[in-house]
Amino acid sequence: MRNTIARGTRAGFAAAVGAATGNTAQAVVAAVGLAVVLQRWPLAASAVRIAGAAFLLWLGAKSLWRASAFTGSLGASAPQAGGSTASGFRQGLFVNLLNPAITSFYVAVVPAFVPAGAPAWYYGALAAAHVGIAFGCHACWAMAFGRLRAAASRPWIARGLEAATGLVLVALALAVLQK
């Protein structure tokens, strides 16, 4: 949402592609043994959780800072057509790579749907379905917020969205730390 409003629909799609890339990486890592590593070394699971919380906290603090030092639009400069796709991609990628909920999903939830004796590709098909559905959802959000971009670039709305985004990210970081 924020990438789309701040930098345009292309940046929102780039964030969706980054998130899908992060999901794919999580699924592959889980498939090759992350579950075993996290079970044998609880410290590794804690490190992933803390890194994810720290990243969410950093993003939230950054949004709150932008809201407090508000200059009239979302982001460091006025919304631009086209925007920074690289920045959107990186944010989508790292949010999903460092998201303990995504890690847990691929380590615990997806395997629960793999029947005993299923071929190796079965897990991959389930993971691919999730990546595709999540990408479709994120792409729809990018299109929807691309249409709302003009209204959201009004100073008071943009500042409110920036502050709300920051508060939600900080709250998510704190929730992740308490698990």
Could you count the other beta carbons within 10 Å of the beta carbon of residue 150?
10
- Please, which residues have CB within 8 angstroms of residue 68's CB and are 6 or more apart in sequence? none
Ordered mean pLDDT values, 10 residues apiece, the chain (179 residues) = 84 95 93 75 79 83 85 47 75 87 83 87 94 96 87 79 88 84
Counting the structural domains of the chain, the total is 1
Res 82: pLDDT: 44
Which residue segment(s) compose the domain that 152 sits in? 2-177
Q: Single out the residue of 44, 57, 96, 2 nearest to residue 176, CA to CA.
A: 57
The length of the chain is 179
